[in-house]
Structure 1
Amino acid sequence: MPARCSPVRIARVPIDPSLLLELALLGMTTGFLAGLLGIGGGMLMVPFITFFLSHRDVAPDLAVKMAIATSMATIIFTSVSSVRAHHRRGAVRWDIALALAPGIVLGSMLGSLGVFKLLKGAWLAVFFSLFVGFSATQMFLNRKPTPNRQMPGTAGKLAAGGAIGFLSGLVGAGGAFISVPFMTWCNVPMLNAVGTSAALGFPIAAANVTGYIIAGQSLQGLPAGSFGYIWLPALAVIAIGSVVTAPLGARAAHALPVARLKRIFASILYLLAAYMLYKGLAG
């Protein structure tokens, strides 16, 4: 029967020990970064998953989109493990997370159900590189926010959440590259911003993944093990690795000085900015 009549294609999934090892290492690395910096590791996962899919005869455009969607799906598991570790140390501002969540869900669904299928992404990649580079510079220089600046009101939180969810869904990231600079700009302490960002990863991922699955139901040319845009073999292996190492990253986050943590996060942001600029110009 046609693949569209059976949306989960799990038959004949190749068992490749070297691929499993590479995916496990990728999952452990991104899990540690998620716990340490509150990021989902999407910018690290997407190029590797794209490479793996491209070598399995998946069309280039589809490979990139599946990599983004699969990366986002892993954040569901990474965020749960990471946020538990941060919560035990009192680092999660649940009042902020709950206030941003409605906008995140709305923005995520808008991006994953509509724009994701249509947008090529070159211009967006260049914009992201400039934005992320600016945020990294602000954090690396450790510039202090205005002392009286606070989180915005209800409408502002809804708009901020919508932007975080929408932009995160287009690149397969957990939103920390926006949410952490945003919260620190609003005078939320760095460790609280990282912990709260980890908590925001779950609604970002859950809403976007729902959209990816619905939007990908009628696709042709999907590899075995696909569920919409999600590549289940990679999701399973990466999720297991990330859940194991995310608490280790969270423990390291609470052992490092705040200034050093900011510089580590800024360094990661510079790498993300360079990658996005390269992808945008190449596109």
Structure 2
Amino acid sequence: MEFLPQFLALAVTGVFAGLLAGLLGVGGGIVIVPVLFFLFQGFGVSADSAQIIATATSLATIIPTSVSSIRAHTRNGNVDFALLKYWVVFVFIGVMAGSLMVTQVDGTYLTALFGIIATLSALNMLFRAGAKPLKNELPGRVGQGIMGTCIGFFSTMVGIGGGTLTVPTLTACNYPAHRAVGTAAAVGLIISLPGALTLLVAANTPVDAPKFTYGLVNLVAFVCIVPLTVLFAPMGAALAQKLDQKKLKRVFAVALMVTGVRMLLQLVL
């Protein structure tokens, strides 16, 4: 009974992340990281430790959801395996560099980075929806290598999968939106699997970490969140057919911006 409130809070996180993923097509990490960040602090964990554990745990939860998503998008022919074949090495390099940084830097910097990325993502959803691409096509090999490395690095640093950074990056280069979403799911697996394993095996557990935290991954959060995220994502997708997508995305963007700003304000207040 002592841990019942924690289990319930983590279960609600899984439901919420799954519904939003289905409703809006957003990656679970952009929802899971801030929720875990504040929940862990409510359990008596310091803000620094809460951020790095939330980051690693989020990456772990993305693994099974990415596999499920890849299978669905592959059936629809929306995964660009030719692009992935070239990007995989660069994304992996970025992931390894990001994983090393997570184990070395203060959690304050990760909180600031997440707050900035969340705020910029919200602004992109609010003001660039339907906007013209910034470029007519993807850059050359060197440019794509830089893009893949940066996506792997920053996604690992803040515990998000492929969608948050990969989709807007590709669509800004006039890449078809449906293929961007499918390919981003595969990028999410390239990010989450090595990133989570590295932070599980190679990282030191903070002294104030919640119980059942190994490395930087909290297994209780993982077990509570993953099944419910997988269960409720299809429900969210079904509900999305009945609701106004544009209004939903605006509401989520505002909530995401408030969350990002709230995390940034915690650093200075």
Q: Same fold (TM over 0.5)?
A: yes
The partner residue of 1:100 within 80, 87, 99 is 87
Q: Give the corresponding residue for 1:277.
A: 261
CA apart distance, 1:39: 3.1
Rate the CA distance shift 1:160–1:263 in 2: closer, same or farther, 3 A.
Answer: farther
Aligned residue pairs total 265
Contact 2:205 2:214 in 1 (8 A): no
Q: Tell me the alpha carbon deviations over residues 201-251 of structure 1, each in whole angstroms, 9 at most, x when there is no partner.
A: 111111221332244236433332111010001101211112223345566
Instruction: Quote the offset at 1:164 in angstroms.
Output: 0.9
Structure 2 counterpart of 1:144: 132
Aligned to 1:161: 148
Change (3 A) 1:104 1:32: farther
- 1:213 aligns with 200
In the alignment, is the contact (CA less than 8 A) between 2:137 and 2:173 conserved in 1? yes
* Structure 2: gaps spanning 5 or more residues: none
Match in the other structure for 1:79: 66
Runs of 4+ in 1 over 6 A off after TM superposition: none
Q: For 1:180-195, what aligned pairs fall within 5 Å after superposition?
A: 180-195=167-182
Aligned-partner Cα distance in 1 for 2:112–2:14: 29
State how 1:1-283 maps to structure 2 within 5 Å.
Answer: 16-119=3-106, 120-121=108-109, 123-125=112-114, 127-129=116-118, 131-140=120-129, 142-145=130-133, 149-217=136-204, 219-249=206-236, 264-265=248-249, 267-283=251-267
Give per-residue Cα distances to partners, 1:78-125, cap 9 Å, x unaligned.
Answer: 111222222222222232333322222111111121255314226535
For residue 43 of structure 1, give the secondary structure of its aligned residue in structure 2: helix
- Cα deviation, residue 51, structure 1: 3.5
**1:42–1:172 Cα contact (<8 Å) kept:** yes
CA contact (8 A) 2:167 2:184 kept: yes
Is this contact kept in 1: 2:27–2:164, CA < 8 A? no
User: Is the CA contact 1:126–1:277 (under 8 Å) kept in the aligned structure 2?
Assistant: yes
Which residue identity is paired with 2:144? K
Deviation at 1:38, TM superposition (A): 4.4
- Whole-angstrom distance in 1 between the partners of 2:29 and 2:17: 8
Q: TM-score, normalised by structure 2?
A: 0.83
CA gap 1:22/1:107 in 2 versus in 1, 3 angstroms: same
Distance 1:30 1:89 in 2: 24
Deviates more, 1:85-94 or 1:267-276: 267-276
CA distance in 2, matches of 1:89, 1:256: 22
CA RMSD in angstroms comes to 2.9
What is the letter of the counterpart of residue 136 of structure 2? R
Mapped to 2, the partners of 1:215 and 1:76 lie a distance apart of: 18
TM-score (norm 1): 0.79
- Mark the CA change 1:193 to 1:241 in structure 2 (over 3 Å): closer, same or farther: same
CA distance in 2: counterparts of 1:264 and 1:94, whole angstroms? 31
Identity %: 34
